[in-house]
Amino acid sequence: MEIRITDGRIISAEAGESIYEALKNIGIYLVASCGGKGVCGKCRVKIIEGRSRIEATGKLKKKDRDENIVLACQTFPEENILIEIPEDAKLVIGDKIAISKSRGLLEFLRSVEPVFTPPVKCTVLDLDPPTINDNISDLERIKKALDDKGIHGMRFSHDFVSSMSKALRDAKWKVNLAYSDNLEAFALSPAECMNEYGIAVDIGTTTVVLYLINCYDGSLFDVGMTYNSQMRYGDDVITRIVHATEGGGILELRDAVVDDINDMLLPILDKNGINRDDVVSAVISGNTTMSQLFWGLDPSSIREEPYIPTINIFPVWRAGTSKVRINPQAPVYTMPSVGSYVGGDIVAGLLASGMHRKSEIALFMDIGTNGEIVVGNNEWLITAACSMGPCFEGSGIRHGMRATEGAIESVKIDPATFEPAFGVIGNTGPVGICGSGMIDAIAELFFTGIIDQKGKFARDLNTDRIKIGDEGPEFILYRGELKDIVLTQADIENVIRAKAAIYAGVSVLLKEVGLSLDIVERVYIAGGFGNYLDIDKAIMIGMLPDLPKEKFSFIGNTSIAGAYLCLLSQKMRQEAEGISRKMTYMELSVLRGFMDEYMSALFLPHTNIDLFPTVKEAYNKRI
């Protein structure tokens, strides 16, 4: 039998095999925290054609069932079928782009520290077996050996001591002692067999990314990406904090994201044949609210004036406390935050950009569900944040998706025929559109006059690319065999609001420090875009300031990149804390002028087009 997917892929399924299993066999992983037992209700797919046997519907609502949504793990094709996989049911595992990008980081890291120093360190202890004349206790024997190595002040937990004596004897007194940066012993293993894997996790408001890393050679084993299930409680941090203040809300939010991490981790470990107990360190990177929720800490004071987080520089706690299913004793390092709306993801971003090490004044912009801006250099850093919504991460956009295989990432529209051409990540058929594709598309729609300065569709154009959909006019980017890919009026308005917020943030922050744009020697653009962002187009829609193109560096998901650096290097962890302490954090909401700047930026590119001289020139030329 065949299962066809609306993205064009066709896979074969054995009789008696569930859709979940058939997809998994060719490397399409669905979210399923229960591991395919029909319990969690997450592996939802829509049956468009064909007959299947449905064994159970679990937590599916009647509305879902009426729309032919089924649980893939409980549904068994009885003939050829056609299915659609909702974006939020997909796990992305083994992303090639991420793996190729990690190589640059690795080279940088090797230049900083020749030997990697993950949050778990190891030291081999070759102990003399006790005798009747050398009868000190097992723990004192370990302490003495550590003293001899110049390692003083180690702490030993009850868990450690409980298994210590047997481990020493099993290993015949030659052991590998694993301990954390802050000198907490956490495991003993026979000296010859210490497998050391670590994970770096970027908890975005919209997406969660996980790297599985070999801490010996720094290589990126595998990558997972999924949507943050906290989205069911709200699109942005504010609505989630509101949910957290309701009874049990904090734990719901924590469990949601920890489940997401475990959902990714399980198939990745499975696929690579790695035991969870061999994953012995973790770094978590996220904005302040995400980091606090990950640890189950009440985020409510983040939302209330004077906007105070519980914690900026996190102690190293254990994986068991977080419920992430790696070795429960593994130390978990949390990227330090700066303030309520500038979190560890931004500190990670700065670390990956390296701007905190250089004397040139740079502007750092992280474009995600939250937009964060940093200005400064190796001497000073100032930062602020604004809310953008999840559009650039593919959420809240009709055919939006993350910058993974099948995403339209660049668009060109013929000004005469209005026919679009586009580039797709992975050079496959298009499945949806990612952030950079949206920016391109809107710039082109604007430039070709299909939409006006306010982003509204022109009514009098002679093209069948514009049609009236359920929610107003929309532009057909791609006519698919099974479905079209469109950009709707609402999609465009979402993007314009997002770009206005970040542009206003940049303007206000520069004003606050009394700098003009031309002082800025470099602009780092971070965010979940693919490997392509057309700077000209981003300037054209007024998202980026109108600076010479060569000043811009597109640096991708720096939250995960910084987490990766910190997983492998104690020096990087120290620099991260230095960045956190050094950065001055401004509350945009209390800075006068932010709302004015935002309103002015709700146009393409801006109400004051003189701020965008190159756009003005190009636009005038066009006319």
User: Total number of residues binding a copy of itself (CB under 8 A)?
Assistant: 44
Residue 205 or 291 with smaller CB distance to a copy of itself: 291
Q: From the list 77, 224, 286, 309, which residue makes contact with a copy of itself (rule: CB under 8 A)? A: 309
Contact, 314 vs 291, CB < 8 A? yes
**382 contact partners, CB below 8 Å, separation of at least 6:** 374, 375, 376, 509, 512, 513, 583, 584, 585, 586
Q: Is 58 in the site for a copy of itself (CB under 8 A)?
A: no
- Classify the phi-psi angles of 542: left when phi > 0, otherwise alpha if psi is within -120 to 50, otherwise beta: left
Which listed range, 71-79, 210-218, 311-319, 391-399, lies at the site for a copy of itself (CB under 8 A)?
A: 311-319
Q: Is 340 in the site for a copy of itself (CB under 8 A)?
A: yes
Residue 162 or 462 with smaller CB distance to a copy of itself: 162
Token pair listed for 98: 């991420």
Q: Is 620 in the site for a copy of itself (CB under 8 A)?
A: no
CA angle (206 as vertex; 200, 209 as ends), nearest 5:
20
144-173 residues in contact with a copy of itself (CB under 8 A) are 155-158, 161-162, 164-166, 169
Q: From the list 100, 137, 574, 607, which residue makes contact with a copy of itself (rule: CB under 8 A)? A: 137
| Exposure string for 242-275, b = 16+ CB within 10 A, e = fewer | ebbeeeebbebbbbbbbbbbbbbbbbbbebeebe
Beta carbon of residue 454, minimum distance to a copy of itself (angstroms, whole number): 35
Dist. CA 550–CA 322, nearest whole Å: 43
Handedness of CA 336, 342, 345, 346 (dihedral sign): negative
Beta carbon of residue 401, minimum distance to a copy of itself (angstroms, whole number): 35
Dist. CA 31–CA 44, nearest whole Å: 8
Beta carbon of residue 330, minimum distance to a copy of itself (angstroms, whole number): 14
Residue 386 or 533 with smaller CB distance to a copy of itself: 386
Dist. CA 181–CA 334, nearest whole Å: 13
Beta carbon of residue 597, minimum distance to a copy of itself (angstroms, whole number): 20
**288 contact partners, CB below 8 Å, separation of at least 6:** 299, 302, 309, 312, 337, 339, 340, 341, 342, 343, 344
Dist. CA 263–CA 68, nearest whole Å: 24
Per-residue contact string for residues 71-110; x = within reach of a copy of itself by CB under 8 A: ----------------------------------------
Which listed range, 203-211, 295-303, 370-378, 601-609, lies at the site for a copy of itself (CB under 8 A)?
A: 295-303
Which listed range, 38-46, 68-76, 307-315, 537-545, lies at the site for a copy of itself (CB under 8 A)?
A: 307-315
Other Cβ atoms less than 10 A from the Cβ of 149: the count is 11
Q: Is 136 in the site for a copy of itself (CB under 8 A)?
A: yes
Q: From the list 217, 305, 379, 470, which residue makes contact with a copy of itself (rule: CB under 8 A)? A: 305
Phi first, then psi: give them for residue 472, nearest 5 degrees: 100, -170
Q: Is 590 in the site for a copy of itself (CB under 8 A)?
A: yes
Dist. CA 84–CA 4, nearest whole Å: 9
What are the residues binding a copy of itself (CB under 8 A)?
Answer: 130-132, 134-140, 155-158, 161-162, 164-166, 169, 182, 295-298, 301, 305-313, 315, 317, 321, 337, 339-340, 585, 587, 590
